[in-house]
Every structure is written in structure tokens, then in C-alpha cells.
Amino acid sequence: MHGGDPVLGAVRAAQQQDLPAVEALLKSCNLPTGGLAQHLPGYLVLEDAGQIVASAGLELHGTAALLRSVAVQQDYRNRGLARAMINQLMKQARSQGVRAVYLLTTTAQQYFRRMGFETLPREAVDPAVTTSAEFGDSCCATAVAMRLALGG
């Protein structure tokens, strides 16, 4: 295995039976798992040899959405996997009438800025999104809020 390999498995929608594997992946990346179970249908996962190695999820809250659980196992990073999953989620969000996608991050501000997200004060986040379990999670208390406007 070296960096030039093609994408491993296909990105697919998460299934209920993926929950333990996605939770384990998030924990290994120090990401919160609160609210994961009820929003799993909005998640994408990537498998390699039967193991989930990447995830990204979208929680829909009306015309706003929360991008969360963007995680890639250490050995699979820097291959564009997260970017591909995020782009797919943004397409889905647009098709579902979402106008703005928010996220919380403690470590990946530069990464998301390169994808067009901008930082904003937490008070400016759409109130519908702040009802998410992730916003109430203590590990996210110091996280930076970011937003990507999708337009009409």
C-alpha cells in the first residue's frame, strides 16, 4: 500500500449495523459520538477489507445542517477520502434544500477553510443546529464554529 493507490472501497451510506464501527473510529479520532445513532442514516462510510476506515455525517436541521464526524483512520489520511465524502454530502445537502452547513472543529480549521468554510461566532450559528447533541458535548465547548453557505 502506498499513497498512489486508487480509492479502496466505494463510499456508501451508513447502515445501522455500522454504528459500533463508526463509534470506534470517532473515539479513536477523539470526536464526539453523542446523537450518532439517530443521525446515522445521514452518514457516509468508506470500507477497506470489511473495516470502516472513514466517516462523515450530515445532520439536517431544516434549511441548515451540521457536518460532523469527519474521521479518517491514521493509515488512510492524505488521500482525499474526507474531501470526497464531504463533497458528496454537500451535493446531498443542496438537493435537500439546505442553505448553510455548519461544523465545529478544534483541530481542522485550516483544512475546512480550504474547502470554503468560514469561521463565525458560535452565537451566529443557526439556532436549529445548536440543538444538536454535538453542540452540548463538553469536548466541543472550545471548538470553533464554521459555516459554508450553499446558496439557493
Q: What is the pLDDT of residues 113-148, one digit of tens each?
A: 999 999 999 889 999 998 887 777 666 677 899 999
pLDDT over threshold 90, residue 5 = no
Q: What is the pLDDT of residue 140?
A: 63
The string of pLDDT tens digits covering residues 40-68 is 989 999 999 889 999 999 999 999 999 99
The answer to the question of residue 6 being in a domain is: no
Q: How do 43-48 and 64-72 pair as beta strands? A: unpaired
The answer to the question of residue 48 being in a domain is: yes
pTM: 0.88
The answer to the question of residue 2 being in a domain is: no
CATH number, position 61: 3.40.630.30
Q: What are 11's strand-pairing partners? A: 46
Nearest to 80 by CA among 28, 149, 8: 8
Q: How many domains does the chain have?
A: 1
The answer to the question of residue 5 being in a domain is: no
